[in-house]
Structure 1
Amino acid sequence: MSLETQIPEDLKTAMKAKDKVRVNTLRAVLSGIKYLRAEGGHDEISDDDVIGIVNREVKKRRDSIEMYESNGRPELAENEQAEVAILMEYLPAQLTEEEIRQIVTDTIAEVGATSPADKGKLMGALMPKVKGKADGKAVN
């Protein structure tokens, strides 16, 4: 089952269970899917497109968590953390730091990067390899 069909089914289940956090989180993802379809004229939305939407939603919530924690609002940060946990269910298994280091090392050798000036070329080759499996900050 594709993510595009799984998420609405999970939303229905969450609505029946009266799980407000899950309902709001899944609605945000569905909104992103509808926006992508309307914006780009996509008839078919691939799982990679949905993973990209979910990644954006995770990033938004992680940024909010940092902001709430720095402003002394742990109760709001907890809510955002719960939403991140829900979103992570729809992403592929995340790479560990050790796996990321290995991919970076292999890509450095592949691209022939020798100095910090080659970082743009390296990141350009590296990000498609870890797309959806690792946070961009961790890779950087």
Structure 2
Amino acid sequence: MSLKEQITNDMKAAMRAKEASKLATIRLLQAALKQKEVDERVELDDGMILAIIEKMIKQRKDSIQQFEAGGRPELAEIEKSEIDVLVAYMPAALSDEEVQVAVTAAVAEIGAAGPQDMRKVIELLKTRLAGRADMGKVSGLVKAALSK
């Protein structure tokens, strides 16, 4: 079953179970997916869907920081519950060691010699690690590996 079908099935299940907050989050996700399909006139594959989910999670994390800084813990809790729903669609995260191994392999595969090759390595890793690793951390590891 594709990720898109799973999201649709989960929406139907949330409707039947009358889980209003989960349903609202899934509808937001479906709206974002539909918007991307309409804007770019493409059929989304699982990789593209994961990228959208990852972006939505990042937006919510930023919102949580803002709400907590502004003294609005009730709104931060809503964002946290939305993150819980979205994270369920992400693949299992890789450990730091697994990410390091992937970075080392990508650097060797491309034959990267220095910082000028960082973009090539990051692009390769983006496809391999989509949704399974924080690309900010990966970028730092690549930079460190190419600085040696």
For residues 126 and 49 of structure 1, do their structure 2 counterparts lie closer, same or farther at Cα, with a shift above 3 Å needed? closer
Mapped to 1, the partners of 2:122 and 2:70 lie a distance apart of: 33
For residues 91 and 17 of structure 2, what CA distance do their matches in structure 1 show? 25
Find the counterpart in structure 2 of residue 63 from structure 1. 62
CA distance in 2, matches of 1:54, 1:91: 8
Matched, 1:133 2:132: yes
In structure 1, the residue matched to 2:146 is none
Measured against aligned partners, the alpha-carbon deviations of 1:54-92 in whole angstroms (never above 9, x if no partner) come to 122112112212222333333322221221111111111
**Aligned length, in residue pairs:** 139
RMSD: 2.0
Any gaps of 5 or more consecutive residues in structure 2? 140-148
Identity %: 38
**Aligned pair in 2 of structure 1 residues 8, 124: CA closer, same or farther (>3 Å)?**
closer
Spell out structure 1 runs of 4+ moving beyond 4 A.
Answer: none
Shift, 1:117, TM fit: 4.2
Alignment of structure 1 residues 25-64 onto 2, 5 Å: 25-42=25-42, 44-64=43-63
Distance change >3 Å, CA 40–CA 110, structure 1 → 2: same
CA contact (8 A) 2:47 2:130 kept: no
Distance 1:89 1:113, change over 3 A: same
Alpha carbons of structure 1 residues 46 and 120: separation in structure 2 relative to 1, 3 Å: closer
Q: Secondary structure at the match of 2:132?
A: coil
Shift of 1:37: 2.3
Residue number in structure 2 paired with 1:22: 22
Q: 1:81 to 1:138 in 2, by over 3 A?
A: farther
TM-score by length of 1: 0.83
Q: Which residue does 1:8 correspond to in 2?
A: 8
- Structure 1 residues 32, 97: closer, same or farther in 2, change over 3 A? same
Which range moves more in the overlay, 52-61 or 118-127?
118-127
Cα distance between partner residues in 2 of 1:115 and 1:70: 40
CA-CA distance at 1:52 after TM superposition: 2.2
Q: For 1:62, give the aligned amino acid.
A: K
Alignment correspondent of 1:81: 80
